[in-house]
Amino acid sequence: MGTEAAGMTLRIGSMFAGYSGLEMGVMQVLEAQPAWFAEIDEAPARILQHHYPQVPNLGDVTRVDWGSVEPIDILTAGYPCQPFSQAGHRKGTNDERHLWPYVLDAIKHLRPRIAVFENVRGHLTLGLAEVLEDLAEIGWDAQWACVRASDVGAPHHRERLFILATNPDSFGQQEGGFARRPAQEVTWDNDLLDTLAGLNQAADISHEMRLRWGDTAPAILTWAMLTGHAPPPIVGDRADYRAETTTEFIEWMMGLPPGWVTGVPGLTRNQQLKALGNGVVPAQSAYALNHLLTP
């Protein structure tokens, strides 16, 4: 049996943590908790401090002395996607934001049991080969898969690449490898159904839902039931009368608890949008990890 099965909580070290969506997914699958973050951006750092006040933030990954960092069981890293994104210039390893070498350095020093990475789908054709070669050189194995947010019921596509890298010196040395949490059960909340304007006896989307959400009504309702939260207003009115999508609605689309980003004091709308735009759906991360851990 692994240490987690014996009652010990696995320790997560997180690089480029953002609002912690990747770790939230890992914690849905494994008995684990963050031991430290390494996040330099002001808004995500505030979000992390708000939700994990006892967890230290090591800051700039390029300045961390990994030899002095406490050991961990799991390393997570959503290393910057700009070098590989279709929306950017795709400079790959020539991009100054290519920070994978610092992740590799952390792995070499910390020797966690596993590492879980997340990036854009464009990483498949630019940069992934170098990552896999680097891992192979230090004797690590790796598997990867692309998962869309819609694969877990979210009403948007948002495809991401997930990589599970394993340390053969420690992962799986106990029979069965990691003990996973029981799968979360979806419960259909009748009160939520009423809040959403309900369904008729034939279980069709109501006329009011159709008027409000159009053809997306089934997807919106499904996500509301899966997350247990009704969708916030999609449009808010600013003082200058320009209608804008609310950050609360985007937060809901990402499958986050209400207020996870928008409830953190002191963040501007632009900071909230940037944090949400760079984030990952926790349920998407959990789905990918469950898949990659399955023999």
Q: Is 170 found in the same domain as 24?
A: yes
Q: Is 80 found in the same domain as 39?
A: yes
pLDDT-flagged residues of the chain (< 50): 1-6, 85-95, 173-176, 186-188, 197-204, 240-241
Q: Is 244 found in the same domain as 113?
A: no
Q: Is 267 found in the same domain as 157?
A: no
User: Residue 194 falls within a domain, yes or no?
Assistant: yes
Number of domains forming the structure of the chain: 2
pLDDT for the residue 28: 95
- 250-283 burial code (b ≥16 CB/10 A, e <16): bbbbbbbeeebbbebeebeeebbbbbbebbbbbb
User: Residue 273 falls within a domain, yes or no?
Assistant: yes
User: Residue 5 falls within a domain, yes or no?
Assistant: no
User: Residue 175 falls within a domain, yes or no?
Assistant: yes
Q: Is 87 found in the same domain as 221?
A: no
Q: Is 39 found in the same domain as 164?
A: yes
pLDDT for the residue 176: 44
Give the residue among 22, 20, 25 at the shortest CA–CA distance from 41.
Answer: 20
Q: What is the pTM of this model?
A: 0.85
Q: Is 286 found in the same domain as 238?
A: no
Q: Is 288 found in the same domain as 269?
A: no
Residue span of the structural domain in which 72 resides: 10-182+282-293
Q: Is 254 found in the same domain as 136?
A: no
pLDDT for the residue 209: 64
What CATH number did the domain enclosing 83 receive? Answer: 3.40.50.150
